Amino acid sequence: MQRKDLLCPTSGNKSRANHIAAFGHQRAKQRDRISFRYPNLHSSIMADAIESKIKNYRTAPFDSRFPNTNQTRNCFQNYLDFHRCNKALSEKDQDTSPCDWYQRVYKSICPSVWVNNWDEGIEGGSFAGRV
Amino acid sequence: MLALVKKQLKNHPALIPLFFFIGGGTAMSMIYLARLGLRNPDVCWDRKNNPEPWNKLSPTYQYKLFAVNMDYNKLEKNGPDF
């Protein structure tokens, strides 16, 4: 599961190695186990939690992946996550309303010019990001 | 060249602290740049094999040395899984 990548080393730095978790492979395994036994349970729990979060939404919360002043990556990552989430959930035939969280966040952070350009790119097939 | 520097230092020993301070400053700058290039979560070196390394960090990962008014232990992943 862990690829020793010369250019992106994860070993040798204790604090970072201790914190690597959650977003990647392990979460996928855990998700598959839950969704195998209870096909609709995980998605419905998630949908309720997210629905309440979306209802109480004020602004984009602090994201520890992007702690610095430059929030460009934050904006682009949420835009990508919105479209990836839509694609993944509609492929599994689940309700795509939890993905609205990512839409709220990117609409809060991203300049509207960028969003318009990217939307046109997605419609026309010229969008450069991996969705 | 090092022999020349040593000879000059022997004649002017008051210049030795100069080496310490300038060397220390250079080292600190290089260390900061290396930390920024290798540890900063915003950075991606290998787009093909490791495209989004910031997604592999935990929500409580702290990059900044001093975090004022932000309790990293209480943070969780914001968006839904998919």
Amino acid letter, A94: Q
| HSE-CB for A122 with a 13 A CA cutoff | 14
Question: Which of B56, B20, B64 has the alpha carbon at shortest distance from B40?
Answer: B64
Q: Are B28 and A107 in contact (CB under 8 A)?
A: no
- Of residues A68 and A41, more confidently modeled: A68
What is the model's pLDDT at position A131? 87
User: pTM above the 0.90 mark?
Assistant: no
What is the model's pLDDT at position A2? 44
Amino acid letter, B72: Y
Pure H helices in B1-82: 2-11, 16-39
Average pLDDT over residues A79-97: 92
What is the model's pLDDT at position B68? 86
Instruction: Give the Cα separation of B42 and B44 in Å (integer).
Output: 7
Contacts of A15 (CB under 8 A, 6+ apart): none
Contacts of A84 (CB under 8 A, 6+ apart): A131, B82
Q: How confident is the model at residue A91 (pLDDT cuts 50, 70, 90)?
A: very high
What is the model's pLDDT at position A127? 93
User: Which residues on A lie below 8 Å from B79 (Cβ)?
Assistant: 50, 78, 81, 85, 98, 101-102, 105
Instruction: Give the Cα separation of A78 and A60 in Å (integer).
Output: 10
Question: ipTM value of the model?
Answer: 0.78
Which DSSP letter does residue B42 get?
T
Which of A31, A63, A65 is the mutation pick for testing B, counting most B CBs within 10 A?
A65
Which DSSP letter does residue A13 get?
-
**Domains along the sequence of chain A with CATH:** 4-55 (no CATH), 72-124 (1.10.10.140)
Least confident of A19-28, A85-94, B57-66: A19-28
Amino acid letter, B64: K
Beta-carbon separation of B59 and A64 below 8 A: yes
Q: What is the mean pLDDT of chain A?
A: 78
> Strand, coil or helix: what is B56?
helix
Determine the distance from the C-alpha atom of residue B22 to the mean position of all C-alpha atoms in its chain, rounded to a whole number. Answer: 18
What is the model's pLDDT at position A7? 45
Per-residue pLDDT for A45 more than 70? yes
Instruction: Give the Cα separation of A107 and A67 in Å (integer).
Output: 19
**Residue A79 burial (10 A CB sphere; 0-12, 13-18, 19+):** buried
Per residue in B26-61, pLDDT (tens digit) is: 999 999 999 999 998 888 999 899 888 999 888 888
Beta-carbon separation of A46 and B49 below 8 A: no
User: Which residues on B lie below 8 Å from A16 (Cβ)?
Assistant: 39, 57, 61
